[in-house]
Structure 1
């Protein structure tokens, strides 16, 4: 498979929307509006294979030391090929380049993220700014996702 990873562009929005809503209808991801996709497009990375979007994920910066991996989805025809793992590793590397110490995920896919080095944390331990998007969620305030954290090995500038 000749999949390539690249930043999402405006023409990708319809395919992103369809893929995210496919999983949202199954209760595996939270739905995203097209407006939300356009507003956050700069944070998204897509996996393209033969001109088709077969995966996507976003690195959403939350604060000076933290980002969230969100909207992680692999097209059903491309699952079990390691693309999800590669994409998370790609997004973690992006976060490290930005100098972020932590990457969080709010997920239903706990074993997947554990294999990649994420650890379960209490949701209450995360800063309130993490929850700003939750106010518009249909599951608020009874969120059933698991909070997980990955700690980057960020090199601090020497004094």
Structure 2
């Protein structure tokens, strides 16, 4: 674990950097759904960020989105390329999972193109049709719709 970084809840002052990571990050092209400023401000309380302690630079972000009773989604996980390989993605997901338990949400899923990463965290592949229809509302805004290539994975806490 890299102790030069801290994971915390996102703040208003983080939104511009989060937006840039989710929208303008070429190494993430097609891996995360871009979010508008409006959406980020509206969903800010869902987000965690990881910040380099010395510089205050935002290294990554991730959100826990409540979907339904006992069901939440880990989404918008991004770690900037220059900060990868330090366990920061895992720390962001762990923060989301900890919050899920606090909120009594015991099933957490992810839609991903990187199933290996989430498998290491205990997520297991599930058929997409086990997820409630409400989950698919964001799909309409995805550039890949209707030809989704993401894999649904679930973790029971």
Tell me if TM exceeds 0.5.
Answer: yes
CA distance in 2, matches of 1:25, 1:2: 24
Where does residue 46 of structure 2 map in the other structure? 43
Shift of residue 81 of structure 1?
Answer: 0.4
Matched-pair contact (CA < 8 Å) for 1:104–1:147 = yes
State the Cα distance separating 1:147 from its structure 2 match. Answer: 0.5
Q: Distance in 1 between matches of 2:74 and 2:28?
A: 20
Write the distance in 2 (CA, Å) between the matches of 1:24 and 1:139: 17
Structure 1: tracts of 5 or more residues without a match: 153-159
Verify the 8 A CA contact 1:108 1:146 in the aligned structure 2.
yes
Which of 124, 130, 149 is 2:154 aligned to?
149
**Alpha-carbon separation, structure 1, partners of 2:65 and 2:27:** 19
Off by >6 Å, runs of 4+ in structure 1: none
Corresponding pairs, count:
152
Contact 2:123 2:153 in 1 (8 A): yes
Q: Give the CA deviation at 1:126.
A: 0.7
TM-score (norm 2): 0.91
Match of 1:133 among 132, 138, 150: 138
SS at match of 2:38: helix
Give me the TM-score of the superposition, normalised by structure 1.
0.90
Cα root mean square deviation, aligned: 1.4
